């Protein structure tokens, strides 16, 4: 019974009940509003979290600016009389309160908190703020004449300018997904994974704004949301001397650092975009000069003459969808292997073709959008033109591009998805994997000019394998081995 009485005595969510002829006092109406406002803030904080929802863009010089649009000013803050323009924006603080700003010019004299004491980079924050509002006076009115409490924002500066740590929380190894979710949402009192810093504020009351700012604003100094890293400079001496008042610092026109200095609220559409990898556009293999050989070669092998002619004249070309660093395009990341049959044991032997040259295609600086792989004249004479070749049986060729070794202009690895795989299948991304294609080729045709040759005899036993150090004139430093041809199995 004691537990039941204790449970019944707990404060829980309440809602007003309005009756006919009911007298609603100002105090009761204010409590109703405060109660509902608190519940709404709890819900917003729990579902959305803390950070910028939209906007608060700092106006900068662009290509279309009529003035100061030279390359040296591009991207710099637009400053007028030491003020910067902050666009319309909405954010949520660590108690779930909405921070709405309609947009406007902000100067050092408009800030709350301590003013800058030295020039340099400062972090710009936005805070929840309130002030008494009267229709006639707008500002500085007596409490008895208050019609509304105006909710707004106050901006402050901090001398620290550190990027926001957008990273995964520390967690134990081998934790299951259910366990991670459970502990991340504070479902246990011995969390190996800490909940987000602001989430426990759902169970707390938001502190009343008490720090003062210009024009009677009261703001919450400890609950600011970071917006950007901006530059502050000393006010020009002539203007300071002329006015004999005002702050000694002003905003200066340099590049603001925005994106890495903010917390964000991840809306559902944005979450799905991130899951789909819309922020990543990895390089892929876009084209191959042997693409026409990849369709049905296992049922209809490529003719030897077509294979040998293209290998001798053109080599093999590879095109990429984005420029790739040339220092990563080498025989360690691009190679071709032949899978051939051994003569007597009937095993498959994997032999790497010797690439003698890599020509960069569509090259700009240290990056290229393609390569052409070529083979040495000695190897072509030894294995393509010579009758004593390892290609006297049916064989297959594999082209491998090691995605983990390649780097694009962003420093990212290659996406090794197959050629022409649909772009919208984002879950099929293969960053850093090996891109591999393979095709089958007919055996090399033995020249009938050799006396005593048996081109039509599939079981001939007088053919020989050459050595890889065989000279172009047909001489060899190593003993050759007998070869008996068999059909492809």
pLDDT at 442 over 60: yes
Read off the tokens for 407.
């780097």
pLDDT at 60 over 80: yes
Q: What per-residue confidence (pLDDT) applies to 481?
A: 34
pLDDT at 166 over 60: yes
Q: Is 434 exposed, middle or buried (0-12, 13-18, 19+ CB in 10 A)?
A: middle
Report the DSSP pairing between strands 120-133 and 225-234: antiparallel
pLDDT tens digits, one per residue of 65-94: 445 555 667 788 898 888 999 999 999 999
pLDDT tens digits, one per residue of 255-282: 888 988 998 998 888 888 887 777 788 9
Read off the tokens for 406.
């390649």
pLDDT at 306 over 60: yes
Please give the share of the chain, as a percent, with pLDDT higher than 70.
81
3-state DSSP assignment of residue 413: coil
pLDDT at 480 over 50: no
User: Average pLDDT of the chain?
Assistant: 82
pLDDT tens digits, one per residue of 329-364: 999 999 999 999 887 777 888 999 999 999 999 999
Helices and strands (DSSP H and E) totals, the chain: 7, 22
pLDDT tier for residue 446 given thresholds of 50, 70 and 90: very low
Q: What per-residue confidence (pLDDT) applies to 245?
A: 52
pLDDT tens digits, one per residue of 170-200: 888 888 888 888 888 888 877 788 888 899 9
Q: Among 83-87, 134-138, 374-378, where is mean pLDDT lowest?
A: 134-138
DSSP codes joined into one string, 294-326 = SSSTTTSPBPHHHHHHHHHHT-EEEEEEEEEEG
């Amino acid at each position: 019974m004691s537990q039941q009485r204790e449970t019944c005595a707990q404060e829980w969510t309440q809602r007003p009940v309005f009756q006919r002829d009911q007298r609603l006092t100002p105090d009761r109406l204010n409590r109703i509003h405060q109660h509902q406002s608190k519940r709404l803030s709890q819900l917003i904080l729990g579902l959305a979290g803390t950070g910028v929802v939209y906007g608060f863009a700092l106006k900068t010089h662009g290509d279309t600016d009529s003035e100061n649009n030279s390359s040296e000013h591009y991207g710099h803050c637009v400053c007028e009389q030491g003020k910067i323009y902050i666009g319309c924006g909405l954010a949520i603080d660590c108690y779930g309160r909405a921070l709405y700003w309609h947009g406007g010019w902000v100067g050092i004299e408009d800030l709350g908190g301590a003013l800058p004491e030295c020039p340099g980079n400062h972090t710009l924050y936005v805070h929840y703020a309130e002030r008494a509002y009267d229709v006639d006076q707008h500002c500085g009115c007596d409490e008895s004449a208050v019609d509304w409490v105006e909710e707004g924002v106050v901006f402050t500066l901090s001398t620290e300018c550190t990027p926001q740590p957008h990273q995964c929380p520390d967690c134990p190894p081998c934790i299951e997904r259910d366990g991670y979710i459970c502990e991340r949402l504070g479902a246990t009192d011995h969390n190996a994974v800490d909940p987000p810093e602001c989430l426990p504020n759902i169970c707390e009351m938001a502190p009343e704004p008490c720090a003062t700012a210009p024009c009677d604003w009261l703001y919450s100094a400890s609950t600011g949301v970071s917006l950007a890293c901006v530059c502050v400079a000393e006010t020009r001496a002539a203007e300071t001397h002329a006015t004999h008042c005002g702050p000694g610092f002003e905003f200066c026109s340099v590049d603001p650092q925005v994106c890495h200095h903010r917390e964000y609220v991840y809306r559902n559409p944005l979450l799905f975009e991130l899951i789909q990898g819309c922020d990543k556009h990895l390089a892929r293999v876009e084209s191959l000069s042997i693409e026409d050989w990849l369709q049905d070669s296992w049922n209809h092998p490529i003719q030897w003459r077509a294979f040998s002619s293209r290998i001798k004249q053109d080599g093999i070309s590879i095109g990429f969808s984005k420029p790739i660093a040339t220092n990563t395009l080498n025989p360690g990341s691009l190679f071709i292997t032949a899978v051939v049959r051994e003569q007597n044991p009937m095993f498959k032997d994997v032999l790497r073709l010797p690439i003698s040259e890599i020509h960069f295609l569509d090259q700009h600086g240290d990056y290229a959008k393609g390569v052409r792989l070529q083979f040495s004249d000695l190897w072509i004479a030894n294995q393509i033109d010579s009758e004593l070749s390892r290609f006297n049986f049916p064989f297959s060729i594999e082209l491998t591009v090691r995605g983990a070794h390649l780097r694009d202009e962003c420093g990212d690895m290659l996406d090794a998805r197959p050629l022409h795989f649909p772009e919208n299948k984002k879950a099929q991304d293969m960053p850093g994997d090996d891109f591999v294609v393979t095709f089958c080729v007919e055996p090399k045709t033995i020249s009938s000019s050799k006396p005593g040759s048996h081109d039509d005899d599939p079981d001939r036993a007088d053919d020989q394998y050459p050595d890889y150090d065989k000279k172009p004139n047909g001489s060899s430093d190593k003993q050759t081995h007998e070869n008996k041809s068999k059909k492809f199995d």
